[in-house]
Amino acid sequence: MPEPSLTAPAARPPRHRGYAKGAAKREAILRGVMDLMDREGYTRQSLRDIGEALGMEPAHILYYFANREDLLQSVIELWDSDSIPSLRETGTRAAPPSLELFVEAVSRNVGAPGMGHLFLAFAAEAVDPAHSAHAFFKQRVDRVQHDLAQAIRAGQACGKLRADLDPNQSARHLMALADGLQLQALLQARGDVIADLRAAIDALAT
Protein backbone atom coordinates (compact mmCIF):
# COMPACT_ATOMS: atom_id res chain seq x y z
CA MET A 1 0.00 0.00 0.00
CA PRO A 2 1.40 3.40 -0.86
CA GLU A 3 2.68 5.25 2.13
CA PRO A 4 0.37 7.36 4.29
CA SER A 5 1.02 11.00 4.97
CA LEU A 6 3.14 11.61 8.03
CA THR A 7 0.83 14.38 9.21
CA ALA A 8 -2.83 14.03 10.02
CA PRO A 9 -5.34 14.77 7.22
CA ALA A 10 -8.39 16.86 7.89
CA ALA A 11 -11.09 14.64 9.32
CA ARG A 12 -14.32 14.16 7.38
CA PRO A 13 -17.47 14.90 9.35
CA PRO A 14 -19.20 11.64 10.36
CA ARG A 15 -22.50 10.72 8.77
CA HIS A 16 -24.10 10.35 12.20
CA ARG A 17 -22.47 13.09 14.22
CA GLY A 18 -23.18 13.27 17.93
CA TYR A 19 -23.94 9.59 18.53
CA ALA A 20 -21.07 7.89 20.33
CA LYS A 21 -22.62 4.45 19.95
CA GLY A 22 -23.05 5.00 16.21
CA ALA A 23 -19.46 6.18 15.85
CA ALA A 24 -18.23 3.09 17.68
CA LYS A 25 -20.29 0.83 15.42
CA ARG A 26 -18.96 2.64 12.36
CA GLU A 27 -15.37 2.08 13.47
CA ALA A 28 -16.14 -1.57 14.25
CA ILE A 29 -17.34 -2.04 10.66
CA LEU A 30 -14.18 -0.41 9.30
CA ARG A 31 -11.92 -2.58 11.43
CA GLY A 32 -13.93 -5.61 10.38
CA VAL A 33 -13.19 -4.76 6.74
CA MET A 34 -9.49 -4.39 7.61
CA ASP A 35 -9.57 -7.87 9.16
CA LEU A 36 -11.31 -9.18 6.04
CA MET A 37 -8.54 -7.73 3.84
CA ASP A 38 -5.96 -9.34 6.13
CA ARG A 39 -7.64 -12.77 5.96
CA GLU A 40 -8.76 -12.94 2.34
CA GLY A 41 -7.01 -10.09 0.56
CA TYR A 42 -8.85 -7.73 -1.73
CA THR A 43 -10.96 -9.61 -4.26
CA ARG A 44 -13.18 -6.68 -5.26
CA GLN A 45 -15.70 -7.78 -2.66
CA SER A 46 -19.20 -6.42 -3.16
CA LEU A 47 -21.12 -4.79 -0.34
CA ARG A 48 -23.02 -8.07 0.01
CA ASP A 49 -19.75 -10.01 0.31
CA ILE A 50 -18.52 -7.61 2.97
CA GLY A 51 -21.81 -7.85 4.83
CA GLU A 52 -21.68 -11.67 4.85
CA ALA A 53 -18.11 -11.59 6.19
CA LEU A 54 -19.14 -9.20 8.97
CA GLY A 55 -22.42 -10.96 9.71
CA MET A 56 -24.43 -7.89 8.69
CA GLU A 57 -27.02 -7.01 6.11
CA PRO A 58 -25.79 -4.59 3.41
CA ALA A 59 -28.61 -2.23 4.40
CA HIS A 60 -27.17 -2.02 7.90
CA ILE A 61 -23.75 -1.03 6.49
CA LEU A 62 -25.44 1.61 4.34
CA TYR A 63 -26.87 3.18 7.49
CA TYR A 64 -23.29 4.23 8.34
CA PHE A 65 -21.79 4.69 4.86
CA ALA A 66 -23.20 6.26 1.71
CA ASN A 67 -22.13 3.35 -0.53
CA ARG A 68 -19.37 0.79 -1.08
CA GLU A 69 -16.93 3.48 -2.27
CA ASP A 70 -17.53 5.57 0.84
CA LEU A 71 -16.90 2.48 2.98
CA LEU A 72 -13.61 1.64 1.26
CA GLN A 73 -12.39 5.23 1.37
CA SER A 74 -13.18 5.31 5.09
CA VAL A 75 -11.19 2.09 5.60
CA ILE A 76 -8.14 3.71 3.97
CA GLU A 77 -8.60 6.88 6.02
CA LEU A 78 -8.69 4.87 9.26
CA TRP A 79 -5.61 2.88 8.18
CA ASP A 80 -3.77 6.16 7.59
CA SER A 81 -4.88 7.63 10.89
CA ASP A 82 -3.72 4.48 12.72
CA SER A 83 -0.30 4.85 11.10
CA ILE A 84 0.36 8.36 12.33
CA PRO A 85 0.46 7.89 16.14
CA SER A 86 1.94 4.40 15.84
CA LEU A 87 4.95 5.84 14.02
CA ARG A 88 5.73 8.41 16.70
CA GLU A 89 7.78 7.22 19.66
CA THR A 90 6.63 10.24 21.65
CA GLY A 91 2.97 9.40 21.09
CA THR A 92 2.31 12.89 19.76
CA ARG A 93 1.52 14.18 16.30
CA ALA A 94 3.82 17.18 16.84
CA ALA A 95 6.86 15.29 15.56
CA PRO A 96 7.89 16.62 12.13
CA PRO A 97 7.89 14.39 9.05
CA SER A 98 11.13 12.50 8.47
CA LEU A 99 12.47 9.98 5.98
CA GLU A 100 12.73 7.40 8.76
CA LEU A 101 9.01 7.75 9.49
CA PHE A 102 8.40 7.38 5.76
CA VAL A 103 10.32 4.07 5.71
CA GLU A 104 8.45 2.84 8.80
CA ALA A 105 5.12 3.72 7.19
CA VAL A 106 6.01 1.77 4.06
CA SER A 107 7.20 -1.14 6.21
CA ARG A 108 3.81 -1.26 7.96
CA ASN A 109 2.07 -1.31 4.60
CA VAL A 110 4.28 -4.09 3.23
CA GLY A 111 3.14 -6.23 6.15
CA ALA A 112 -0.51 -5.81 5.10
CA PRO A 113 -0.70 -6.94 1.45
CA GLY A 114 -4.51 -7.12 1.50
CA MET A 115 -4.73 -3.44 2.39
CA GLY A 116 -2.08 -2.69 -0.22
CA HIS A 117 -4.10 -4.40 -2.94
CA LEU A 118 -7.26 -2.59 -1.83
CA PHE A 119 -5.48 0.75 -1.98
CA LEU A 120 -3.88 0.24 -5.38
CA ALA A 121 -7.07 -1.05 -7.02
CA PHE A 122 -9.27 1.62 -5.48
CA ALA A 123 -6.79 4.40 -6.31
CA ALA A 124 -6.68 3.25 -9.94
CA GLU A 125 -10.48 3.49 -10.13
CA ALA A 126 -10.38 6.95 -8.54
CA VAL A 127 -8.16 8.34 -11.33
CA ASP A 128 -11.49 9.08 -13.05
CA PRO A 129 -12.40 12.66 -12.02
CA ALA A 130 -16.02 11.57 -11.70
CA HIS A 131 -15.14 8.95 -9.06
CA SER A 132 -16.35 9.80 -5.55
CA ALA A 133 -12.84 9.24 -4.09
CA HIS A 134 -10.97 11.24 -6.75
CA ALA A 135 -10.51 14.34 -4.56
CA PHE A 136 -9.49 12.20 -1.58
CA PHE A 137 -6.67 10.47 -3.45
CA LYS A 138 -5.50 13.69 -5.09
CA GLN A 139 -5.28 15.42 -1.72
CA ARG A 140 -3.53 12.39 -0.22
CA VAL A 141 -0.83 12.43 -2.91
CA ASP A 142 -0.32 16.17 -2.41
CA ARG A 143 -0.05 15.69 1.37
CA VAL A 144 2.49 12.86 1.13
CA GLN A 145 4.61 14.82 -1.35
CA HIS A 146 4.51 17.89 0.91
CA ASP A 147 5.57 15.83 3.94
CA LEU A 148 8.45 14.17 2.10
CA ALA A 149 9.68 17.45 0.63
CA GLN A 150 9.61 18.96 4.11
CA ALA A 151 11.63 16.02 5.46
CA ILE A 152 14.18 16.40 2.66
CA ARG A 153 14.57 20.12 3.31
CA ALA A 154 15.16 19.36 6.99
CA GLY A 155 17.85 16.85 6.01
CA GLN A 156 19.51 19.43 3.79
CA ALA A 157 19.39 22.07 6.53
CA CYS A 158 21.30 19.84 8.96
CA GLY A 159 23.78 18.69 6.32
CA LYS A 160 22.65 15.07 6.12
CA LEU A 161 21.25 15.28 2.57
CA ARG A 162 22.83 16.75 -0.56
CA ALA A 163 22.29 20.46 -1.01
CA ASP A 164 21.83 20.09 -4.78
CA LEU A 165 18.62 18.06 -4.43
CA ASP A 166 15.29 19.50 -5.53
CA PRO A 167 13.10 18.55 -2.52
CA ASN A 168 9.86 18.34 -4.50
CA GLN A 169 11.40 16.28 -7.29
CA SER A 170 13.12 13.94 -4.82
CA ALA A 171 9.84 13.55 -2.93
CA ARG A 172 8.06 12.53 -6.14
CA HIS A 173 10.82 10.05 -6.94
CA LEU A 174 10.64 8.44 -3.50
CA MET A 175 6.84 8.21 -3.69
CA ALA A 176 7.01 6.59 -7.14
CA LEU A 177 9.69 4.16 -5.97
CA ALA A 178 7.78 3.15 -2.85
CA ASP A 179 4.54 2.66 -4.78
CA GLY A 180 6.25 0.71 -7.57
CA LEU A 181 8.17 -1.53 -5.18
CA GLN A 182 4.99 -2.35 -3.26
CA LEU A 183 3.18 -3.19 -6.49
CA GLN A 184 6.06 -5.48 -7.53
CA ALA A 185 5.95 -7.18 -4.14
CA LEU A 186 2.24 -7.89 -4.59
CA LEU A 187 2.76 -9.28 -8.08
CA GLN A 188 5.94 -11.27 -7.50
CA ALA A 189 5.82 -12.01 -3.75
CA ARG A 190 9.56 -11.43 -3.56
CA GLY A 191 12.10 -8.67 -3.24
CA ASP A 192 12.99 -6.52 -0.24
CA VAL A 193 10.97 -3.34 -0.53
CA ILE A 194 12.51 -1.71 2.54
CA ALA A 195 16.11 -2.49 1.61
CA ASP A 196 15.59 -1.03 -1.86
CA LEU A 197 13.90 2.05 -0.41
CA ARG A 198 16.66 2.61 2.11
CA ALA A 199 19.26 2.30 -0.67
CA ALA A 200 17.51 5.07 -2.59
CA ILE A 201 17.41 7.29 0.49
CA ASP A 202 21.10 6.59 1.19
CA ALA A 203 21.86 7.84 -2.33
CA LEU A 204 20.45 11.23 -1.31
CA ALA A 205 22.89 11.59 1.58
CA THR A 206 25.99 13.74 1.58
Closest by alpha carbon to 97, among 163, 167, 182, 199? 167
**Contact between 108 and 38 (Cβ < 8 Å):** no
Exposed, middle or buried, 4 (CB in 10 Å: 0-12/13-18/19+)?
Answer: buried
pTM for the structure as a whole = 0.81
Q: For the chain, which residues make up each domain, given as ranges?
A: 20-202
CB 136 within 8 A of CB 128: no
Give the CATH superfamily of 20-202.
Answer: Tetracycline Repressor, domain 2 (1.10.357.10)
Cα 184 from Cα 164, distance rounded (Å): 30
Give the separation between CA 59 and CA 47, rounded to whole angstroms. Answer: 9
Say how far apart CA 129 and CA 111 lie, in whole Å: 30
Could you list the pLDDT tens digit for every one of the 206 residues in the chain? Answer: 566 555 555 555 555 545 678 889 999 999 999 999 999 999 999 999 999 999 999 999 999 999 999 999 999 999 988 876 555 544 555 567 899 989 988 998 899 999 999 999 999 999 999 999 999 999 999 999 999 999 999 999 999 999 999 999 999 999 999 999 999 999 987 779 999 999 999 999 98
> What's the confidence (pLDDT) of residue 90?
47
